[in-house]
Structure 1
Amino acid sequence: MGTGKRGLITAAVAVVCAVTVLAAPGTAFAVSAAPEPSPTPSATPSAVPAKDLEAVRKRLERLYHDAAVATDAYNAAEEKAREQNAALVKLAQRIAGVRAELEELKKRAGAAAAAQYRVGGLPPEAHLMLSDDPTRFLDGTGRILQGQRATKGLIRETARTQEDLEQYERDATAQWKKLEANRKAKASARKRVEQQIAAAEKLESELEKDEIERLAELERAAARTAHDAWLDSGILDAIQGEASERGRKAVEFATAQIGLPYEWGAEGPESYDCSGLTSRAWEKAGVPVPRTSQEQWRQLRRIGIEDMRPGDLIIYHEDASHVGMYVGDGAIVHAPRPGRTVTVAGAGSMPILGVVRPDAD
């Protein structure tokens, strides 16, 4: 790879950028920004040595990673709760409909029984003797037989409807139990997220201002080192895919969110978590995708890194706990973590698990 292109890519992903509209499918967004100036060494020695700050950085990385895992669990529980609520609503509607049908059948059965009682008090021979017209008697007898058959059918239909009602009620009870269990799982996941973020924020609050600045530079340096190693593999020369029409729309939406804050569990429009951003972007492009990064990895079509194109989703870490959207030229747009905003980063700045394509043919 030429040093000129390499320098352009590094500059593009090192800062929060201003993004223009994609010119055509497959073309990465244009970036107009200058590289960050090198930090000026602090005049006052920091209370925390560089070696210890690196340990702090790694500790924060673990805490925010664990928060991301818990966030995925919370999002999955939230999604499941929505599905279970919808299923309960449908079951309730069915139960109400079946109960109304059952009431109507009971009324019809009661009316049929009353009619049978009125005409069935005398034996057929007595009706024949009392009838002036044998033909009318025979017609009446036929109608009685038809009524008896109809009544038996009504009884069978009522019994089936009663069985349906009981089954729907059992299904609703089971669904309710699942919903309650899922609510507990969601509450537990929420607690884990809040604990991890609180621990990270406490750790950061103990740092001095210059230490926070040095820590931020350590984070950027670690990301650059990882991304440069990825670029050194020559992989970017093999990635020539052009965005599909829907992929272009997804990228346009995702990049338009740059600068909005990360918030765990958020799906917009004012804040996002990582999978909230990617799922909403693809929804806006007309392609529904799973809500969580783990489900995106599990359910969407996997493709080779060399075959990816703008709009594809890059899944990170062995546990698929983070996701970003590839936008071309070795860059992604993603919602990083609490305390950060939606931004552009190097695609290789985190350990890549794989790539998935929401609009696979």
Structure 2
Amino acid sequence: MRAVPGQETSPDSSMYEPPTPTSSDIYPPTYHYSPDLTSFTPTGYNYTPQTTTSTIPFEITPDYVVDSTTFGDVRQTSLDPLPDSGAMSPVVSSGKGGEVFSPADPEQLAEIIARWVADAHLRTCLYSTEHILDVMRKQSPDITNINYYKNMAHEELWYDCAQKLTSVIQQIIEFAKAVPGFRKFSQDDQIVLLKAGSFELAVLRMTRYYDVNQNCVVYGDTLLPMEAFLTTETVEMKLVNNVFEFAKTIAELKLTDTELGLYSALVLLQADRPGLRGTDEISKLNEAVGRSLCLELEKTHRYPVKGDITVYAFLLAKMPALRELSMLHQEALSKFKRNAPHLQFSDLHKEIFNVDS
């Protein structure tokens, strides 16, 4: 069975602090990245070039579902094989005697996409929602832990955060590979999308760990406020502050896991990333995921965020802020590496962010 959407919710009033988006704001502008497309071969994740098709590049088999056995272990580092999204076309198997059909009903197709993306999202989260909520219920910010991180050496703090970020990115790569149609794209396009979107998706995943009641984030097995991560570097301070503000804004929407997974896929599948070639196929899949997200939100978030702005439009309007966070992270990382060229991060971290010492 598919992930069950949460109760109908109305966003907390504190989220209205950002400027109210208008209809002209919901289409994000083009931002320029400079990914090195020749070097990305992260250890353990092999990409096979795929040929593109002129049809919508995904297929879905509805008998592959999420159930209560998906989260046998709280820390989901050992995953069952995910379905290969590289063999996907618009054909759907009924699961009865090999009979197949093409879903003519857009809502039916959106429902199936939601189930697949939710499955990919849930199976590639490092910690289950139940575990995160349990930490939030049982713990409060501890001054000893806060001081430990505040007094941590600058390089040590960067290294610790980079290790945790790399673990999340490993799961994001698995998530992308399981999104219907993603592996239909060329190898180069997969690389561009992952390198451009990995930090943005990591920030979205952080929203699962954000406790809006205590303004803290679950970090490992403890709760930490923003000040635990602040340094004396201006760019780093801005990055930490903006990431926490963004996480709070999205967390206050109380998206279901299905909706957060679909929003993550929508952010990943941006056809305006510089260097992409198969933009038509990426745009088609992006539109299909967008329709699915819109229908899911209509079930649980019927009330507008403010005025006539729907939650879906609000989420679209936040996408430029995600890109700004990604560029700010790149700026902070580049400056840090110039000052600490001897500190080496993991190969995957170096491949994704492409920062030379």
TM range (shorter): under 0.3
* TM-score, with structure 2 as normaliser: 0.19
Higher helix proportion, which one? 1
* TM-score, with structure 1 as normaliser: 0.19
Larger relative contact order (C-alpha < 8 A, sep ≥ 6)?
Answer: 2
* Higher alpha-carbon Rg: 1
